């Protein structure tokens, strides 16, 4: 009976794989050319077309009504009151379609528009349009109307890591495996860059913009699209994680004198690392280093370049050492989130929980003020927190800036 079940399960997997032809498409580098070029991709696509339709080509495989694994967009866009379902580290692009409205306690109307929730890649068929407010990357010059999946990811996966010192090149030893899960390069074989991210010298044909920083060295766990109530999905970010974002946001590298509020790419130091490790939640500083990690406030593990070392960190719950760093992805997600400025938690309100529960438009008479909910129901708010129960936080949890600064 058991063998039978296993056989059926195996057959099912096989059929699904054959049916969508998707299993291991890129494998760290260029997938089958006709996956994106030619007839399979639909008559409208040619490699000569500009950014807009490019994202749609990617989304044919990377969006789904019930997204799993590598699917990074819920499509069709979920209706009002229903949250996007993908819970990857990068986040679900369907947040770009979510407009949240509410009335403040004083009656004023407030809005958190979809275009504030992510990188607005142009993909009209999915309801994603270029950002109408930020017409180029803040702190940089990348034109918003050229923003697509391949602005950041090299569709041909040419960038590769060739040794344990984290050397990245765009040609050389052949790529034989994905570089995202801890496979090591050897003397003869390279691995792809983390998440096929582009590096130095890269540009798409839609713009004259050129990258100056190589992709980060990082490792994700194999299972990375999941709720985090019973455990965090830990990406181990190594060397170059902060610098990579500067490819388009160079002006934000030096926070002093810039509009941006926070340093990035700097070591936490003794005192801040200690605070992170002791901080459990508002009012509770009884934690210790071995269990301190939360993926809502990740950090860069020093300047590690060895993917095997990074892979071992993906299963650890330990907090930072003093030479670990605060980085852009400490506070932001790479794709999209439920909050303005693509932040991992709501940085605009005082509290993240109200009397032990999440705030919500459906919980105003439980003492939750409408601003705290930011136009979301309690259920939507919980998904925005990657499906964590509110019991992970203090009864009136303050901003997670406190994980490092403990000013609550």
Residues 371-390 that bind ligand HEC (CB under 6 A): none
Cα–Cα separations (whole angstroms), residue 111 to 117, 332, 392:
12, 20, 28
Among 85, 168, 220, 236, binds ligand HEC (CB under 6 A): 220
Cα 345 to chain center, whole Å? Answer: 13
Asked if 312 and 287 touch (Cβ cutoff 8 Å), the reply is no
Long-range contacts of range 223-227, CB-CB < 8 Å, 24 or more positions apart? 224/69, 224/88, 224/89, 225/67, 225/68, 225/69, 225/70, 225/71, 225/86, 225/87, 225/88, 226/87, 227/87, 227/386, 227/387, 227/388
Among 131, 214, 306, 408, binds ligand HEC (CB under 6 A): 131
User: How many Cβ atoms sit within 10 Å of the Cβ of residue 375?
Assistant: 21
Residue 100 tokens, joined: 């949240």
Does 314 engage in binding with ligand HEC (CB under 6 A)?
no
Give min distance, CB of 336 to ligand HEC, in A: 9
Does 234 engage in binding with ligand HEC (CB under 6 A)?
no
Number of helices (H), then strands (E), in the chain: 10, 12
Phi, psi (rounded to 5 degrees) for 146: -105, 5
* Interaction residues for ligand HEC, span 76-105 (CB under 6 A): 88-90, 93
Among 264, 300, 305, 368, binds ligand HEC (CB under 6 A): 264
Does 392 engage in binding with ligand HEC (CB under 6 A)?
no
Contact mark string toward ligand HEC, 164..203, x via CB under 6 A = --------------x-x-----------x--xxx------
| Length in residues, the chain | 408
CB closer to ligand HEC, 72 vs 280: 72
Does 240 engage in binding with ligand HEC (CB under 6 A)?
no
Residue range at the interface with ligand HEC (CB under 6 A); choices 130-138, 182-190, 363-371, 390-398: 130-138
Does 294 engage in binding with ligand HEC (CB under 6 A)?
no
Does 57 engage in binding with ligand HEC (CB under 6 A)?
yes
């Amino acid at each position: 009976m058991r063998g039978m079940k296993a056989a059926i399960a195996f057959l099912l997997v096989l059929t699904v794989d054959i049916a969508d032809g998707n299993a291991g498409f890129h494998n760290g580098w260029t997938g089958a050319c006709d996956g994106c070029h030619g007839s399979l991709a639909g008559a409208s696509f040619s490699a000569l077309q500009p950014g807009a339709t490019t994202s749609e080509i990617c989304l044919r495989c990377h969006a789904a009504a019930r997204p799993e694994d590598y699917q990074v967009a819920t499509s069709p866009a979920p209706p009002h009151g229903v949250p996007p379902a993908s819970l990857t580290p990068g986040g679900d692009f369907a947040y770009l379609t979510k407009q949240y409205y509410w009335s403040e306690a004083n009656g004023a109307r407030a809005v958190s528009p979809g275009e504030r929730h992510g990188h607005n890649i142009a993909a009209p068929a999915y309801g994603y349009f270029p950002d109408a407010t930020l017409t180029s990357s803040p702190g940089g010059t990348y034109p918003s109307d050229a923003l697509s999946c391949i602005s950041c990811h090299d569709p041909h996966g040419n960038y590769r890591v060739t040794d344990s010192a984290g050397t990245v090149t765009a040609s050389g030893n052949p790529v034989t495996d994905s570089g995202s899960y801890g496979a090591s390069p050897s003397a003869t074989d390279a691995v792809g860059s983390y998440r096929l991210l582009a590096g130095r010298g890269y540009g798409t044909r839609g713009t004259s913009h050129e990258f100056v920083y190589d992709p980060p060295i990082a490792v994700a766990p194999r299972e990375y699209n999941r709720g985090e109530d019973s455990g965090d999905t830990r990406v181990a970010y190594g060397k170059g994680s902060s610098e990579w974002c500067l490819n388009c946001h160079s002006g934000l590298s030096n926070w002093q004198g810039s509009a941006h509020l926070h340093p990035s790419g700097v070591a936490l130091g003794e005192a801040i690392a200690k605070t992170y490790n002791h901080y459990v939640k508002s009012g509770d500083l009884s934690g210790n280093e071995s269990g301190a990690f939360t993926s809502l406030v990740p950090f860069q593990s020093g300047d590690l370049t060895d993917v095997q070392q990074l892979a071992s960190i993906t299963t650890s719950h330990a907090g930072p050492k003093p030479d670990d760093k605060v980085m852009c992805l400490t506070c932001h997600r790479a794709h999209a989130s439920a909050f303005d400025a693509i932040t991992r938690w709501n940085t605009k309100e005082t509290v993240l929980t109200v009397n032990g529960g999440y705030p919500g438009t459906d919980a105003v008479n439980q003492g939750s003020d409408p601003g705290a909910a930011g136009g979301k129901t309690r259920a939507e708010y919980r998904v925005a927190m990657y499906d964590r129960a509110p019991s992970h936080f203090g009864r009136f949890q303050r901003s997670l800036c406190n994980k490092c600064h403990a000013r609550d």
